[in-house]
Amino acid sequence: MNTLSASHPLSDGRTSTSPLVQALHGFRPDRLPVWFMRQAGRSLPEYRKLREGTSMLDACLDPQLAAEITMQPVRRHGVDAAIFFSDIVIPLKLAGVDVEIVPGRGPVFANPIRTARDVAQLREEHPAERLRQAMTPIRETVQLLIAELESTPLIGFAGAPFTLAAYLVEGGPSRDHLQARSLMHTDPIAWRDLLAWAAELSGVFLEGQAHAGASAVQLFDSWAGSLSVQDYAAHVAASSMHTLEAVRELHYVDPQGDGYSTRSLPLPTVHFAVGADHLLHEFAKLETSAIGIDWRIPLDEASRRLGDTRTLQGNLNPALLFASPEALEFHVREVIDRGRRAPAHILNLGHGVPPETDPAVLTRVVELAHAY
């Protein structure tokens, strides 16, 4: 067991009783916690103004800029958590991989990984230790944030190994990930080695954020929904488990103890994948504190499938952010009501904030959640 420092926001009591952390530990707090995936930026005019002339990856690696972007939606919306402003390819970038984010397209890699030789060269030239030595801007950003956030938790995050591997093999975004799924079956040993490398990098990235002060971490598996249950279980699940093992042993001493005995609690963890409700039972085996649910399945049905044993996060339909105020309010209430079946619930979108969203609508969702 690895204990977080006494000055960590969980250990010193700043965030340990927050609605988000309580929900992640399976309790129903007095106020329903709400935050939004991709809330840092995206729809905010102040974000677009701040980003003018700065590339995405440069913004992520500038501590002052990244901290300010992370804070903008917290100030504007009154959400119950900040999500660390970064990108899933940042660990790869810090490990020396040649990647750029092309506006309107996404991450693009100069050298796609297609063969066993490519995988071996990637692992040799870009080891996890190189990332570990390059984490200074990430730690500095987190430290700036926790100083300003006070009792509001910061959520760290990383991309899951399959999603990183899919980008690497495809050379960029893809709808069906045919090249990645082909490599998985054509050369399963090379595929295993690629995911093991990606898992180690994501684990280092999560662990660094946690030690620096993040009160929870989320693993995003954006593309897992393209996999069958059999392929996920046989070729992917172990790598996500490997990533989570980097933070699974992180604990903090509960500052709300009775003064006579101490209680050690784990760092809360969340797993989220989109279009992947067929994989819920596999995700449950990862043993995260909560499971994120997209908008395709009602929360009460998701909880039923999981045996009503897991905190759920989600699952507002992003399309309803553009509906009438009455339709949106009805939807928010319905999601909250269906979420009551789970042991605890964190209100969120079933995916990220669309860039075209009116920020006032997000603020209204937070107000509805806190009042309901």
pLDDT in tens, 280-308: 999 999 999 999 999 999 999 999 999 99
Mean pLDDT calculated for residue range 195-211:
98
Torsion, Cα of 50, 53, 56, 60 (10° steps): -60
Asked whether 265 and 251 are in contact (CB, 8 A), the reply is: yes
- Provide the domain limits for residue 175: 2-371
Share of the chain above pLDDT 70, in %: 98
270-308 exposure pattern, b = at least 16 Cβ within 10 A, e = fewer: bbbbbbbbebbebbbebebbbbbbbbbbbbbebbeebee
Alpha helices in the chain (DSSP H): 19-24, 45-51, 56-60, 63-77, 90-94, 116-125, 128-133, 136-149, 161-170, 178-186, 188-212, 229-235, 237-248, 280-284, 299-305, 325-339, 359-371
Pairing of strands 106-109, 99-102: antiparallel
SS3 315: strand
CB-neighbour burial class of residue 9 (10 A; exposed 0-12, middle 13-18, buried 19+): buried
Model pLDDT for residues 326-364, shown as the tens digit of each residue:
999 999 999 999 999 999 999 999 999 999 999 999 999
pLDDT tier at 256 (50, 70, 90 boundaries)?
Answer: confident
pLDDT tier at 261 (50, 70, 90 boundaries)?
Answer: low
Distance CA 247, CA 268 (A): 9
- Structural domains counted in the chain: 1
Model pLDDT for residues 217-253, shown as the tens digit of each residue:
999 998 999 999 999 999 999 999 999 999 999 999 9
pLDDT at 177: 86
pLDDT at 357: 96
- The Cα-based distances of 10 to 3, 77, 271 in angstroms read 11, 23, 20
Which CATH number do you get for residue 151?
A: 3.20.20.210
Distance CA 269, CA 245 (A): 11
- The Cα-based distances of 227 to 129, 181, 182, 232 in angstroms read 30, 8, 12, 6
How many residues comprise the chain? 372
pTM: 0.96
Model pLDDT for residues 139-193, shown as the tens digit of each residue:
999 999 999 999 999 999 999 999 999 999 999 887 788 999 999 999 999 999 9
Mean pLDDT (the chain, rounded): 95
Asked whether 193 and 118 are in contact (CB, 8 A), the reply is: no
Of 58, 38, 114, 56, which is closest to residue 349 (Cα–Cα)?
Answer: 38
Share of the chain above pLDDT 90, in %: 91
SS3 298: coil
Asked whether 273 and 279 are in contact (CB, 8 A), the reply is: yes
As annotated, the active-site residues are: 38, 42, 51, 87, 167
Please list the residues that pair with 158 across neighbouring strands.
219
- Among 93-102, 104-113, 335-344, the range scoring the smallest mean pLDDT is 104-113
pLDDT at 92 over 80: yes
Find the angle CA(341)-CA(346)-CA(351) to the nearest 5 degrees: 110
Distance CA 46, CA 44 (A): 5
Alpha carbon of residue 207 to chain centroid: 13
pLDDT at 161: 98
User: Which residues have CB under 8 Å from 288's CB, separation 6+?
Assistant: 219, 244, 269, 270, 271
pLDDT at 258 over 80: no
Alpha carbon of residue 225 to chain centroid: 16
Tokens of 359: 């920020």
